[in-house]
């Protein structure tokens, strides 16, 4: 099972995997009392934060503020962590090279992992319709469609009772060119909202990636005394493939192996 992951991890193209290998090197040093205590302690938080933000392009002040907030409470829930990242990064210009890299790979593959679909990160941006048959699908509600048509001088008699009837009537009787200015304005508004949501969703994905990194640091306790196996019981085909490749020795390092990865490790006697 070489596939996308064998190619990427096998050739060392994954920056986050490299950061994870740095952590493995630290873990293999003499840690007399293991790592169980590092789940959301200052030491574990700093290590996880360093790993997942290695490729984040934002101001040093933003990174410092996020880390300070994470360190202020060592027992935060995932929701609390999401709020910290969203408050610091949402609405700002920040780049996540690792995210862009994996988005291109998942798009090429035609398959996205669970967290990406859950946060709608696989969604396409809204586009301007190219005709009435396309335009009638762009309205969020029948009321929006009725308002637009009536404001532009279109009022069917008798008025259709259902959306399907309005759509059929509009396709047959409405000039697309007459509605174009309003449709372009609506599309621009939709794009602004989509960009804002995508930015916030990326913040949440980064928060989940950090959270999973904290768990990995806790779980990988005294690696020189144990070997590890990835759990393969997931119903996510992308994560299942990664778990199998990790267990086959193709993928090295510790999870998360890509933004939003939920792969978990267990010790093997």
pLDDT at 267: 78
Mutual orientation of helices 97-109 and 176-219 as an angle, nearest 10°?
110
Point out which residues pair with 211 in neighbouring strands: none
The helix (run of H) or strand (run of E) holding residue 33 is none
Question: Hey, what are 215's tokens?
Answer: 């768990």
| DSSP letter for each residue of 193-208 | HHHHHHHHHHHHHHHH
% of the chain residues with pLDDT over 70: 81
| pTM tops 0.85 | no
pLDDT at 40: 58
Question: Hey, what are 15's tokens?
Answer: 């920056």
Across the chain, mean pLDDT equals 82
Question: Hey, what are 91's tokens?
Answer: 């609405």
- pLDDT tens digits, 12-61: 344 444 444 444 444 444 333 443 444 557 778 888 999 999 989 999 99
- pLDDT tens digits, 189-234: 999 999 999 999 999 999 999 999 988 877 555 544 557 888 887 7
pLDDT at 2: 42
């Amino acid at each position: 099972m070489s596939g996308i992951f064998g190619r990427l991890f096998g050739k060392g193209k994954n920056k986050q995997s490299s950061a994870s290998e740095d952590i493995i090197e630290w873990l293999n040093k003499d840690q007399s009392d293991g790592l169980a205590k590092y789940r959301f302690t200052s030491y574990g938080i700093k290590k996880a934060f360093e790993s997942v933000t290695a490729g984040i392009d934002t101001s040093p002040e933003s990174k410092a503020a996020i880390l300070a907030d994470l360190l202020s409470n060592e027992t935060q829930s995932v929701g609390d962590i999401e709020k910290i990242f969203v408050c610091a990064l949402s609405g700002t210009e920040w780049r996540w090279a690792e995210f862009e890299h994996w988005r291109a790979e998942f798009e090429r593959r035609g398959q996205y992992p669970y967290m990406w679909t859950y946060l709608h990160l696989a969604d396409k941006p809204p586009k301007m319709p190219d005709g009435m048959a396309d335009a009638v699908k762009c309205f969020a509600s029948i009321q929006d469609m009725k308002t637009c048509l009536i404001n532009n001088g279109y009022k069917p008699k008798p008025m259709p009772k259902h959306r399907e009837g309005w759509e059929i009537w509009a396709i047959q009787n409405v000039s697309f060119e007459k509605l174009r200015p309003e449709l372009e304005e609506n599309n621009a508004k939709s794009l602004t909202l989509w960009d804002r949501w995508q930015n916030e969703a990326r913040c949440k994905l980064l928060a989940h990636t950090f959270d999973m990194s904290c768990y990995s640091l806790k779980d990988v306790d005294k690696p020189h005394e144990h070997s590890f196996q990835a759990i393969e019981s997931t119903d996510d085909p992308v994560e299942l493939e990664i778990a199998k490749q990790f267990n086959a020795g193709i993928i090295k390092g510790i999870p998360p192996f890509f933004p939003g990865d939920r792969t978990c490790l267990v010790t093997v006697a």
